[in-house]
């Protein structure tokens, strides 16, 4: 019943949007591509991040664009105009594409509102046909089409990346665990600048990222073994690049159950300043008011502005602004929790780029502001009576520089510096009292009072250098060293050194072998001090060591497979805090099951087998993984909460004419859990931590899209269903009291998201 009501509400939104824009559908727009030679179009679409390789015999000057492309990205436009002449694109390396003839019987890519490319064509595992400029490390690249075509909540690019091998999420949060690591151990960059808090509602589950899929042009993902230019995170790197305004100047309006968005781009002024603007507001609040009032009333919005002037061969200057805000009043009557959670984040940075023949220089200068507020209470008879007031403010100023130099055809050097000046303000007060049954069960104090008034300041400095060398035609090595140092109010630390080494060996034209070893250090950012759990000083730097070996084989033009084994050893994990039973609580630190964990070591290891297939309008991929993630304590080893032993993920996409169908599957062994048992005496006891497991987790998401081509615009209608198979996936447990004896504790199972349908419409003109 609830699903039908959500679908009806979303349908009403769709109908209203269609009626509102109907009078404008016949507006005329210019056709900037029709009639232009293909060589001229490919040249216009190229940038320092996108290059095309082709012969004059294959792309002759006589070939011209026959119809106006529908694609929104430069790569999508190139694919569409080439397809009309039975030509396609094949990845040579990230950012470099070769024009090739389409095989006999191979269908040309079909156009769609969001893209004209197959996701598998754009999920390029960097293992074949490398140039010296390609990374030796194991990376996966997804472009805007692959990100936008994935089914998922809120058209969120970070959620779409959870479909990649080694990356997992719980379905509720947009944060990811990468190869057994904590989400806080991943680095996220947008155009080379760090986004330290990239989520809406970060104070409660981090439900959405602040990035719209229409903002991201490509994403390069390292699930381990990343180069020395990436630092201060020890698990993974998500390196995102925003859309170049020069490649797509069309406007768009869109609305679905989760967001309403508007996008505009253009070129202005005598100097040809290129600009892009994209804004979103959340539309989830009215839906929840009608269908799930107990889920809260979230309000969220974000804005991204970008202006670029000049070219790299002279000097290119790009100004960026990313702003977001969110607010969540929420009440959970079952647990007696009520809270108001607010967040505001602002990023502003300048990027300067200059290239000579063999040298490229990049400089970033920016500032980050992160503000958050949480206030609320938890009153549950027989369990807890607590309240919290938490306000935080963090400011970070960054100066970063990077130089690339290729002194010889077979060698290249890269070096850079990073300087960060950060200050914070913490004002925290909480008071919690627990019942005798709770204090006995969890062995904790009956009364916990915490107060913090802190103004920390941290200065960080880092420098790195790497050398890439093509030893032979088949073997390329990369050796690098990263050094970083931090000071907290004059408390200087010694320099931390991270050596890293990688090798790529092309065994033959279809087979590639990669090896990597590296050390990674991570220090807490100014906004990461966990005062809510009683910490009044920053923890010591964490340290991890990666060992990775991988091999890929391209069986034919349609099918390729990859096997990669990894091991990560963390010798200095920081103290972390978890809720033993319930990960969905609103005010986590007030919950009675909150515990502290201080591992001596951690080990994360596994093997991933990935295969991809593409033929005509159909593309598909799947990944089977085995892994183990555990912490070592003095008392022995314990599994991490997200250890899943084995996992199976996969996806498929079919596009023909105006239709696009896609699906994504996520299955894994149930995560570890701690069970509450009741003895014959009526007393409750806990099993050893994470000694039990939840049932199998299985989720299938599907998406269908139909694009209506109009005279001067196009209208894309989409429908999505998350958890389409209506599976009830167990999440955790909720603590309660017996109705007949308030002194007795009970346990009730909780679950992840139910079936979530969504309808959307996007008008591009």
Indicate which CATH number applies to the domain containing 463. 2.40.170.20
Upper half-sphere CA count for residue 279 (Cβ side, 13 Å) = 5
Q: What is the pLDDT of residue 61?
A: 75
Flag whether pLDDT at 22 surpasses 60.
no
Determine what percent of the chain falls in helix, strand and coil, rounding each to the nearest 5: 10, 55, 35
Digit-coded pLDDT (tens) for 241-255: 998 887 777 899 999
Q: Taking residues 222-229, what's their average pLDDT?
A: 94
Instruction: Tell me whether residue 235 is in a domain.
Output: yes
Q: Which two tokens stand for residue 724?
A: 């389409």
Q: Give the pLDDT confidence score for residue 119 in this predicted structure.
A: 35
Report the pLDDT value the prediction gives residue 49, as an integer from 0 to 100: 65
Q: Taking a C-beta distance cutoff of 8 angstroms, is the pair 149, 617 a contact?
A: no
Query: What pLDDT is stored for residue 423 in this prediction?
Result: 97
How many whole angstroms separate alpha carbon 209 and alpha carbon 452? 29
Question: Helices marked H in 400-535 — which ranges?
Answer: 436-442
The answer to whether position 39 is within a domain reads no
DSSP state of 580: S
Structural contact between residues 216 and 241, judged by C-beta atoms closer than 8 angstroms = yes
- pLDDT 10s digits, 278-336: 999 999 887 777 666 666 789 999 999 999 998 888 899 999 999 999 999 998 887 88
Distance, CA of 448 to CA of 385 (rounded, Å): 11
Residues in Cβ contact with 527 at an 8 Å cutoff, skipping those fewer than 6 apart: 196, 197, 370, 392, 394, 396, 424
Q: Is residue 715 part of a domain?
A: yes
Question: In whole angstroms, how far apart are CA 715 and each of 22, 241, 245, 708?
Answer: 10, 26, 21, 5
**Phi/psi at 161 (nearest 5 deg)?**
-70, -15
Joined tokens for residue 285: 């609040």
Q: In angstroms, rounded to a whole number, what is the distance separating the alpha carbons of residues 207 and 375?
A: 19
pLDDT tier at 32 (50, 70, 90 boundaries)? low
* Domain count for the chain: 1
Residue 593 located in a structural domain: yes
Residue 65 lies in a domain: no
Residue 390 above 80 pLDDT?
yes
Across 595-601, average pLDDT: 95
> Is residue 274 in some structural domain?
yes
The string over 353-372, giving b where at least 16 C-beta atoms fall within 10 Å of a residue's C-beta and e elsewhere, is: bbbeeeebbbbbebebebbb
Strand, coil or helix: 302: strand
The rounded distance, in Å, linking the Cα atoms of 436 and 632 is 31
Q: Is residue 405 part of a domain?
A: yes
> What pLDDT is attached to residue 293?
64
CB 650 within 8 A of CB 161: no
| pLDDT bracket for residue 134 (50, 70, 90) | low
Q: Flag whether pLDDT at 121 surpasses 80.
A: no
Whether the CA torsion 284, 287, 292, 293 is positive or negative: it is positive
The residue to which tokens 């300067």 are assigned = 352
Average pLDDT of the chain to the nearest whole number? 86
504's tokens: 């790529």
Q: Is residue 41 part of a domain?
A: no
Q: Is the pLDDT of residue 269 over 70?
A: no
Whether the per-residue pLDDT at 29 is higher than 60: the answer is: no
Question: What range defines the domain where residue 586 resides?
Answer: 2-30+110-764
Residue 152's alpha-carbon distances to 208, 398, 656, 658, 759, in angstroms, are 11, 33, 21, 21, 12
- Beta strands at 236-242 and 186-190: parallel, antiparallel or unpaired: parallel
pLDDT at residue 48, rounded to an integer: 58
Residue 115 pLDDT grade (very low, low, confident, very high; cuts 50, 70, 90):
very low
């Amino acid at each position: 019943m609830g699903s039908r009501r959500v679908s009806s509400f979303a349908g009403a939104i769709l109908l209203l949007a269609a009626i509102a824009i109907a009078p404008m559908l016949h507006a005329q727009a210019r056709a900037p591509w029709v009639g232009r030679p293909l060589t001229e179009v490919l040249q216009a679409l190229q940038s320092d991040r996108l290059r095309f390789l082709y012969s004059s015999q294959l792309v002759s000057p006589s070939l011209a664009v026959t119809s106006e492309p529908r694609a929104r990205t430069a790569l999508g436009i190139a694919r569409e105009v080439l397809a009309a002449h039975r030509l396609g694109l094949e990845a040579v390396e990230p950012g470099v594409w070769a024009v090739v003839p389409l095989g006999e019987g191979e269908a040309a890519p079909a156009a769609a509102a969001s893209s004209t490319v197959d996701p598998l064509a754009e999920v390029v595992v960097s293992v074949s046909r490398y140039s010296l400029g390609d990374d030796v490390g194991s990376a996966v690249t997804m472009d805007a089409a692959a990100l936008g075509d994935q089914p998922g909540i809120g058209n969120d690019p970070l959620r779409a990346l959870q479909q990649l091998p080694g990356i997992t999420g719980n379905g509720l949060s947009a944060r990811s665990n990468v190869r057994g690591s904590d989400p806080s151990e991943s680095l996220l960059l947008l155009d080379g600048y760090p986004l330290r808090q990239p989520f809406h509602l970060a104070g409660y589950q981090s439900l959405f990222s602040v990035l719209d899929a229409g903002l991201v042009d490509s994403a390069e993902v390292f699930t381990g073994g990343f180069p020395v230019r990436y630092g201060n995170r020890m698990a993974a790197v998500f390196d995102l690049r925003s859309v170049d305004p020069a490649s797509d100047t069309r406007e768009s309006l869109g609305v679905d159950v989760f967001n309403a968005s508007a996008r505009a781009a253009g070129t202005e002024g005598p100097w040809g300043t290129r600009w892009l603007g994209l804004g979103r507001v959340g539309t989830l609040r009215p839906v929840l008011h009608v269908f799930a009032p107990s889920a809260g009333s979230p309000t969220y919005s974000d804005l991204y502005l970008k202006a670029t002037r000049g070219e790299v061969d002279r000097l290119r200057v790009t100004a960026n602004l990313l702003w977001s805000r969110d607010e969540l009043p929420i009440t959970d009557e079952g647990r007696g929790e009520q809270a108001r959670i607010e967040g505001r984040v602002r990023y502003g940075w300048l990027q300067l780029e200059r290239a000579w023949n063999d040298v490229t220089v990049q400089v970033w200068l920016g500032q980050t502001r992160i503000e958050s507020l949480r206030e609320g209470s938890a009153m549950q008879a027989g369990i807890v009576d607590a309240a919290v007031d938490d306000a935080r403010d963090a400011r970070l100023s960054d100066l970063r520089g990077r130089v690339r130099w290729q002194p010889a055809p077979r060698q290249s050097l890269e070096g850079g510096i990073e300087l960060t000046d950060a200050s914070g303000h913490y004002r925290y007060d909480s008071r919690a009292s627990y019942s005798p049954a709770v204090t006995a069960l969890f062995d904790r104090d009956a009364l916990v009072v915490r107060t913090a008034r802190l103004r920390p300041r941290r200065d960080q400095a880092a420098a790195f250098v790497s050398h890439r060398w093509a030893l032979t035609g088949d073997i390329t090595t990369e050796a690098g060293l990263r050094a970083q140092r931090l000071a907290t109010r004059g408390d200087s630390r010694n320099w931390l050194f991270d050596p890293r080494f990688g090798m790529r060996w092309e065994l033959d034209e279809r087979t590639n072998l990669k090896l990597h070893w590296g050390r990674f250090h991570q220090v807490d950012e100014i906004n990461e001090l966990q005062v809510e759990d009683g910490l009044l000083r920053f923890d010591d730097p964490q340290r991890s060591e990666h060992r990775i070996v991988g091999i890929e084989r391209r069986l034919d033009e349609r099918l390729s497979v990859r096997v990669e084994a990894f091991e990560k050893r963390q010798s200095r994990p920081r103290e972390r805090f978890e809720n033993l039973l319930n990960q969905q609580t609103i005010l986590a630190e007030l919950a009675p099951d909150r515990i502290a964990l201080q591992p001596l070591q951690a080990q994360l290891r596994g093997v991933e087998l990935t295969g991809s297939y593409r033929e005509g309008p159909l593309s598909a991929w799947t990944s089977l993984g085995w892994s183990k993630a555990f912490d070592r304590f003095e008392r022995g080893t314990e599994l991490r909460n997200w250890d899943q032993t084995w996992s199976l993920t996969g996806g498929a996409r079919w596009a023909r004419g105006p239709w696009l169908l896609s699906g994504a599957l996520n299955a894994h062994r149930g995560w570890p859990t701690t069970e509450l048992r009741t003895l014959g005496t009526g007393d409750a006891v806990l099993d050893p931590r994470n000694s039990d497991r939840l049932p199998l987790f299985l989720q299938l998401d599907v998406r269908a899209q139909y694009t209506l081509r109009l005279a001067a615009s196009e209208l894309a209608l989409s429908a999505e269903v998350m958890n389409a198979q209506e599976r009830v996936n167990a999440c955790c447990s909720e603590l309660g009291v017996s109705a007949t004896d308030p002194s007795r504790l009970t346990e009730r199972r909780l679950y992840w998201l139910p079936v979530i349908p969504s309808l959307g419409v996007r008008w591009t003109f």
